[in-house]
Structure 1
Amino acid sequence: MKILGFIIQKEFKQIFRNKGMLPIIFIMPVVQLIILSNAATFDIKNIKFSYIDNDHTSLSRALIERFDASTYFNIVSDFPSEKMANAAMSQGDVDVILEIPHYFERDLQKEKHISLSVTINAIDGSAAGVENVYINQIIQNFNKNIKADLIQTEDKQSNPVNIITLPSFWYNKTLNYKTYMVPGILVLLVTMITLFLSGMNIVREKEIGTLEQINVTPIKKSQFIIGKLFPFWIIGLALLTIGLVIAKLIFNVPIVGSYLLLYVYTSVYILVILGIGLFISNFTETQQQAMFISWFFMVIFILMSGLFTPIDSMPKWAQTITDFNPIKYFVEVMRMVMLKGAQLQDILPQLLKTFLFAFIMNGLAVWNYKKTI
């Protein structure tokens, strides 16, 4: 234990002696968490809206005013013809074109139905889908009000029957997207920092030649590996603590679950990441190689973790692959515990799988590590 203590002490001194490493460990994650949590959102705002009003009646103007009053749309222009509107969309000046046909008000009052033409720039398919939902909501609400007015006009004695829905939003009452994204971004930062640091740490020993000197000492393989990785395990938990403080104080993310449960699961999860970092370092000779390989796996893990894209929306073969992605389980646990108040029995399947991953990855890494005495 004394030898292990000396190795851990030496690693901490080496980490804090490197002045360029400290900002990467502590300042960069804070900045990234604040920036990414504000930038990473599926809310589509400032949609460049234009229209072609062929009717020029009070009803057509009322419909346009509905879009103007929305916080999602910015009316940038109106066009006298479809040709000019399409040209503007081709140049990227507008995102949505609403065309109101001739005799819009007359046909709506007589025929009780009318068709509107909506053209959406769908280069970004997901954004176009969200924009279409916004447009349909505005038109449907406008349509309900028009129907009520028409019924009251035809029969002053009768009252229209209105069905009112009262939605109840669980776990995110304000529908704040940051509440959903902050736990996921925190997972991303804890994973990236611990993986990159652990992967490059041993490789750095190779580059400067100190690893060969350590290999010929009586230090046991287990002592060396634990001593090298333990500081980064502590740093990972420290990053989690900083992230939780920022989530609560800056983003006001509700943390309704157990802090102890978060730390217990994170302690096991970091072992998985440290094992992956050690495994990568066994097959690389330079820090640049370790960085590239770590980033290659990180991109795959992140995109298939459910952080940005729902796993249920992926193809079946992709959903099967995500079962072997440890980041997926960490994202699930963070959101379950922080937002839903999940207990140990709720996250037990994820905890057991993560523990299995930790055992396998560290076992492979230790087995592949070569030490000569």
Structure 2
Amino acid sequence: MKTIKFLLQKEFKQIFRNKAILVLIMVMPIVQLIILPLAADYEVKNINLSVVDQDHSPYSRQLISTITASGYFRLQGYHPSIQEAYPLIEQDKSDLILEIPQGFERNLIREGKQQLYIAVNAINGTKAGLGGAYLTRIIRDYNQDVRMEWIPPTRFQASPAIEIVSSNRFNPLLNYQFFMVPGILAILLTMVGGFLSALNIVKEKEIGTIEQINVTPIKKHHFILGKLIPFWVLGNVVFTLGLLVSWLVYGIFLQGNLLAMYCFIWVFLFAILGFGLLISTYTDTQQQAMFIMFFFMMVFILMGGLFTTIESMPGWAKMISRLNPVSYLITVMRMIILKGSGWIDILPHMGIMLLFSGILNGWAIWNYRKTS
């Protein structure tokens, strides 16, 4: 215990000696947590729409007004022909083109049908798909309103109607920030713990103090614990500040068991810090450690379920995500913070995280013993 106490005193003195780094550790995650959820919004809005209205009738003007009033579309302008509107799509100034042919109102009244032409800029598949779906739905609703004007509903409907009443659980207002904030907090916690621990032992190698430590009677697991615990404490401070920011800025309240959340964070920090220390034992310079950690961090982020659900990934990607500790953290944080999950719900994830923690830290201790 005296040995670990000595090592902890040494590590904390080194951390608090560099005031700038300490401020960055505390301030940068908070600033990122405030800014990133506001920018990482996957709701498609302000879709640029160009209109080719060759009818200029009350019905066509009413349709255009209905589309622009929906709040999804931003009218770029009117064009006399489809050939003049196409260059706007080629220049990425328009996302969709709606062509209303001549005789739109006449054919709609006389024949009861009329075709419209929609051209979609599909370079961004998500925006193109949603934009086309929004426009098609608005036109369909407009068509239904026109039919209701022509054929007033009778007192007794001839055909049966099914009424659907939906209820949104866990995120009633469908606020996308509620979905993103827990995931971004998980990524920030991973970055702080992973990068700091990855640079720790290798820093001792660069400045030459590792040789002095190796000739002391300090045991290898005591050395690893001395490197791990200070950043484990800092990780808990960063997570607590993140929860406060989530509450004060976004109004996200922890719905589940607070102790269960912290217990999972404690185990996760041991796992990710052990992973960083493992990288540090394999590298000789801080530059090497940073590049290797950056490689794994990109995998953790892109295959952790932050932006895309793991269920929608191909089979090989799902297998890799099972080896990604960040994916379990993001899942558990969303379960506890948004769904109100408790101990029973997170036990399978807790077991896997304990396994990660044991393997990574044991590997780091073994490899340090081998190379010392």
TM range (shorter): over 0.9
Partner SS state of residue 97, structure 1:
strand
State the match for 1:339 in structure 2. 338
State the match for 2:314 in structure 1. 315
Do the aligned partners of residues 61 and 158 (structure 1) sit closer, same or farther apart at CA in structure 2, a change above 3 Å counting? farther
1:120-199 to 2 correspondences below 5 Å = 120-152=120-152, 164-199=163-198
State the match for 2:244 in structure 1. 245
State the match for 2:25 in structure 1. 25
Q: How far 1:143 sits from its partner (Å)?
A: 2.0
Q: How far 1:163 sits from its partner (Å)?
A: 5.7
Do the aligned partners of residues 128 and 254 (structure 1) sit closer, same or farther apart at CA in structure 2, a change above 3 Å counting? farther
Q: How far 1:107 sits from its partner (Å)?
A: 2.1
Cα-to-partner distance string for 1:180-216 (whole Å, 9 max, x where unaligned): 0000000000001100000001111111111111111
Structure 2 gap ranges (5+)? none
The normalised TM-score by structure 1 is: 0.95
State the match for 2:41 in structure 1. 41
Kept in 1, the 8 Å contact 2:193–2:235? The answer is yes
Do the aligned partners of residues 68 and 2 (structure 1) sit closer, same or farther apart at CA in structure 2, a change above 3 Å counting? same
Q: How far 1:83 sits from its partner (Å)?
A: 0.5
Do the aligned partners of residues 150 and 198 (structure 1) sit closer, same or farther apart at CA in structure 2, a change above 3 Å counting? same
Cα-to-partner distance string for 1:319-362 (whole Å, 9 max, x where unaligned): 12211111111111000011111111111111111111111111
State the match for 2:209 in structure 1. 210
State the match for 2:63 in structure 1. 63
Q: How far 1:249 sits from its partner (Å)?
A: 0.8
- Residues in 2 aligned to 1:244 and 1:110: alpha-carbon distance in whole angstroms: 62
State the match for 1:53 in structure 2. 53
State the match for 2:359 in structure 1. 360
Do the aligned partners of residues 173 and 337 (structure 1) sit closer, same or farther apart at CA in structure 2, a change above 3 Å counting? same
Kept in 2, the 8 Å contact 1:216–1:372? The answer is no
1:282-301 to 2 correspondences below 5 Å = 282-301=281-300
Do the aligned partners of residues 61 and 359 (structure 1) sit closer, same or farther apart at CA in structure 2, a change above 3 Å counting? same
Q: Percent identity?
A: 49
Cα-to-partner distance string for 1:245-270 (whole Å, 9 max, x where unaligned): 00011011232111111100011111
Partner SS state of residue 306, structure 2:
coil
Structure 1 gap ranges (5+)? none
Do the aligned partners of residues 54 and 207 (structure 1) sit closer, same or farther apart at CA in structure 2, a change above 3 Å counting? same
Partner SS state of residue 19, structure 2:
coil
Kept in 1, the 8 Å contact 2:120–2:128? The answer is yes
The normalised TM-score by structure 2 is: 0.95
Do the aligned partners of residues 163 and 150 (structure 1) sit closer, same or farther apart at CA in structure 2, a change above 3 Å counting? farther
Question: Alignment RMSD, CA only?
Answer: 1.8
Q: How far 1:106 sits from its partner (Å)?
A: 2.2
Kept in 1, the 8 Å contact 2:257–2:343? The answer is no
Q: How far 1:303 sits from its partner (Å)?
A: 0.6
Between stretches 136-145 and 336-345, larger displacement belongs to 136-145
- Residues in 2 aligned to 1:309 and 1:246: alpha-carbon distance in whole angstroms: 24
Q: After the TM superposition, which segments of 4 or more aligned residues of structure 1 sit over 4 Å from their partners?
A: 155-164
Amino acid at match of 1:317: W
Q: How far 1:165 sits from its partner (Å)?
A: 3.5
State the match for 1:86 in structure 2. 86
Partner SS state of residue 75, structure 2:
strand
- Residues in 1 aligned to 2:189 and 2:285: alpha-carbon distance in whole angstroms: 23
Aligned residues: 371
Q: How far 1:49 sits from its partner (Å)?
A: 1.1
Q: How far 1:109 sits from its partner (Å)?
A: 2.5
- Residues in 2 aligned to 1:357 and 1:157: alpha-carbon distance in whole angstroms: 66
Cα-to-partner distance string for 1:274-299 (whole Å, 9 max, x where unaligned): 11101100111111111100010110
Amino acid at match of 1:340: K
Amino acid at match of 2:281: N
Kept in 2, the 8 Å contact 1:215–1:372? The answer is no
